[in-house]
Structure 1
Amino acid sequence: MLRQAPIAPLVHAPRAQLTRFLFAPAADTTAHLPPALLQRARALTTEHDALARSLESDFDSKTARRMGELSSVATALREWERATSSIAELNGLLGSKDKELRDMAAEELESTNGQLSALSRKLSASLTPKDPYAHMPCLLEIRPGPGGLEGRFFADTLFRMYKLYLSRRGYRSQVIKYDTVEAAGDLSTAAGESALQEAVIEIQDPGAYDLFRGEAGMHRVQRIPATEKNGRVHTSAVAVWVLPSFPEGGDGDAKDFNNPESDFYIDPSEVKIETMRARGAGGQHVNKTESAIRMTHAPTGTVVSMQDSRSQSRNREDAWKLMRSRVALIRREAREEAAAQLRDNVLSRHRISRSDKIRTYNYNQDRVTDHRAGIDVYNLVDVIDGGESFDKIVDAVKDWLVSGDIAAMMAEQEAAAAAAAVAAAAAASVTKKAEK
């Protein structure tokens, strides 16, 4: 069961038209896209058509690539324009004296309005700037937050949820780190949860980062712990990080980790590497060989440890992979923070940091609430089993991310226009004074 709740606006009041469009329920979306969005779509479609004409006489790989990038916008705009044209014609037929014709037009109008709703959102999504890491595989890091042992148990539940979801959807993945706390006795629940300290899952399919980036943040759980004797509900939390992962062998472009211009590049001289004996379960191997690896990146203070494999070389390889992903994310966040300062006067903060609550899993109410997308999904068991109920949450969060990206794009364009206007006014003032 899925319930759509009101979504908090991401932009300030002067951008009311954009806000109404971005956050209206699908059934309420109209043909009236924000003028700036429509203008941008038409400009890009004009560019697409011009490139197509030029390729007819002279093929150029760079031109062809750019045309391919614009094809989704051109296609979406043409579909949207056909739908709006059909609606105009059908509205005209509603005034016909022929009752049968009026009834047919009314029925067709209802169907076409529904199509237009989807086409409006498709057009908007095609205009959204692509995340620079959208095409890449990713790493999911899961760590317990506040809540003590109960937080560790729920961290293992989320680990299991993601594994089941990946298996059901057919994604290629591998667990590159799975550490539980060291303690005497069997630290597990009746549900089979272990006291997880940290887990890392690598999702190897291209585009995995774009799909899972909405999972980053603090996941809160409200339930009665298995160790609770008085039946009291406890609240704990789990932090999830989503990092772009560089595919094996590189992808041959500017993101290659051997390229100093890449976010993934790390100067080996800046990394301190230590070897040590593995700790925890592992039979005779534990404390016998120095197979565990710990890396420290001096400029950022990032520390990565890896001991899951009995092979030091494999642990070293996995540690480098995780280190590159963490450092790349730090570098990107620094750029985004600088860019955000340029639009703070136009756009309110629409991103949620990892320390903020993004989702609540309420066991007593059989409900999962995503606080960003504003939805409640009733069927908690199916969610944590990675079932179709979890699909609904993933899809809703993706829509929320697209809405935020569009709002950011519009705000940046407005900020740039305002800056240009100020510069033009200043230049005009200087010219006027010079003429005097």
Structure 2
Amino acid sequence: MVIDLKEIKNIKSKLAEYYPLIQDLKNKLEVLLKDLENQINPDFKKIKERKRLEELVLKYEKLYKDVQDFEEIYKLYGEQSEDIKDIEKIYNDIIINFEKLSIDLLLSEEYDDYDAILTITAGAGGTDAQDWAQMLMRMYCLWAEKNKLPYTITDITYGQEAGIKGCEIIIKSAYGYLKSEKGVHRLVRTSPFNAQNKRHTSFALVEVIPKIEDNINIEIKPEDLKIETFKAGGAGGQHVNKNESAVRITHIPTGITVTCSNERSQHQNKETALKILKSKIYDLEKQKISQKVDSFKTKQQAAWGNQIRSYVLHPYKMIKDLRTNTEIYKVEEVLDGNIDKLILDYLLFYNKQKVQQ
């Protein structure tokens, strides 16, 4: 193995860029630890989050120390050392651990490990735009294949002359990566559908949302309920029962109230009220999921002025991400699915923005 000192310097530089993220994680960990100390029955999710944050901080600190130690060892012994194999192993471990840390740091939000539902819609540009939408579909499918992520094209509508009007692809465990792709993608090239071979600009909209399953498990805790009983009223103000058979149940966390008085016994009314309450809470949770999914959508038009990335094939070749200012000149490689550089640069940019907010 050839040891590349430039790679070590690059990793050290990247670790310095990650430092604000680590400080932010430490602050979150401190708040979380105080919160857990004050809880009699600690929340399992919070315990899990504490463990995740602690592991991330420890991984970062260990890797930073390993890089410093490697530089010192290499400076003293170089590649002429009898222990060169041990030095090469340390070097290799640093490369691997840096890649793992980068992914762990950049993909740490709630839905990052969910399946991605990626929708591509041809925008302004006619047949050229439909052809561009198909080129993007091919690019994301090739990316999924390169990363060994199973995918399914669940819907596709073909254009009349060429390309597609739109499609939907579900890619396994890819939302964290592909959230970088949501927005308008702009293509500039000489049109293959124009007899005069004129330069043409096309647009396509890419929407990416996590596939949130509708497997809602409603658990109603007795301590979350306020149960009141009263006499069931009949026609003309008469009481159907002298006993308090009617039941009103209030679910304290949501404020949902259900009243039932049509059954003969208090027990039956309570049972019916609980079933109705559970249905109403289920409906509320479904609404929350629907609103959550809707919040991931860009709600942009696939037209000029909204683009997140430009792909120029003529008069020169360059891809530029307008959010990160990343520029790539090997356009064909990107269109063949090599978009990791664009994704990772965006994730680093995205996390920096989060820290600054």
TM range (shorter): 0.5 to 0.7
Question: What residue is the counterpart of 2:177 in the other structure?
Answer: 211
Q: Does 1:154 align with 2:137?
A: no
Q: Does 1:172 align with 2:155?
A: no
Question: What residue is the counterpart of 1:340 in the other structure?
Answer: none
Over 3 Å counting, the alpha-carbon distance change for 1:62 and 1:156 in structure 2 is: closer
In 2: Cα distance, 1:212 partner to 1:153 partner: 21
Question: What residue is the counterpart of 2:203 in the other structure?
Answer: 237
Deviation at 1:153, TM superposition (A): 2.1
Question: What residue is the counterpart of 1:221 in the other structure?
Answer: 187
Deviation at 1:61, TM superposition (A): 4.7
What is the aligned-residue identity percentage? 16
1:162-201 pair list within 5 angstroms: 162-167=140-145, 169-176=148-155, 178-181=156-159, 187-188=160-161, 193-194=162-163, 196-201=164-169
| AA aligned opposite 2:292 | A
Conserved? CA contact 2:178–2:208, under 8 Å: yes
Conserved? CA contact 1:264–1:328, under 8 Å: yes
Question: What residue is the counterpart of 2:60 in the other structure?
Answer: 77
SS at match of 1:29: helix
Over 3 Å counting, the alpha-carbon distance change for 1:237 and 1:31 in structure 2 is: closer
Conserved? CA contact 2:32–2:46, under 8 Å: no
1:65-104 pair list within 5 angstroms: 65-70=48-53, 72-87=55-70, 89-90=72-73, 94=76, 104=81
SS at match of 1:260: helix
Over 3 Å counting, the alpha-carbon distance change for 1:123 and 1:45 in structure 2 is: farther
- The TM-score, its normalising length taken from structure 1, stands at 0.49
Q: In the alignment, which of 319, 338, 346 is matched to residue 401 of structure 1?
A: 346
| Structure 1 runs not aligned, ≥5 long | 1-24, 51-57, 95-99, 182-186, 266-323, 335-352, 413-436
| AA aligned opposite 2:307 | D
How many residues align structurally? 275
In 1: Cα distance, 2:151 partner to 2:217 partner: 22
In 2: Cα distance, 1:164 partner to 1:36 partner: 34
Conserved? CA contact 1:30–1:117, under 8 Å: no
| Structure 2 runs not aligned, ≥5 long | 1-8, 35-40, 220-280, 299-303
SS at match of 1:401: helix
Deviation at 1:120, TM superposition (A): 6.7
Over 3 Å counting, the alpha-carbon distance change for 1:117 and 1:28 in structure 2 is: farther
- The TM-score, its normalising length taken from structure 2, stands at 0.58
Q: In the alignment, which of 289, 296, 306 is matched to residue 355 of structure 1?
A: 306
Over 3 Å counting, the alpha-carbon distance change for 1:102 and 1:43 in structure 2 is: farther
Question: What residue is the counterpart of 1:374 in the other structure?
Answer: 326
Q: What is the CA RMSD across the aligned residues, in angstroms?
A: 4.7
Q: Does 1:260 align with 2:238?
A: no
Over 3 Å counting, the alpha-carbon distance change for 1:134 and 1:32 in structure 2 is: closer
Q: Does 1:410 align with 2:355?
A: yes
Q: In the alignment, which of 111, 114, 117 is matched to residue 133 of structure 1?
A: 111
In 2: Cα distance, 1:130 partner to 1:137 partner: 15
1:41-56 pair list within 5 angstroms: none
In 1: Cα distance, 2:45 partner to 2:202 partner: 51
| AA aligned opposite 1:144 | A
Q: Does 1:328 align with 2:273?
A: no
| AA aligned opposite 1:80 | L
In 2: Cα distance, 1:129 partner to 1:253 partner: 29
Deviation at 1:366, TM superposition (A): 5.7
Deviation at 1:404, TM superposition (A): 2.4
Conserved? CA contact 2:311–2:320, under 8 Å: yes
Q: In the alignment, which of 228, 238, 246 is matched to residue 212 of structure 2?
A: 246
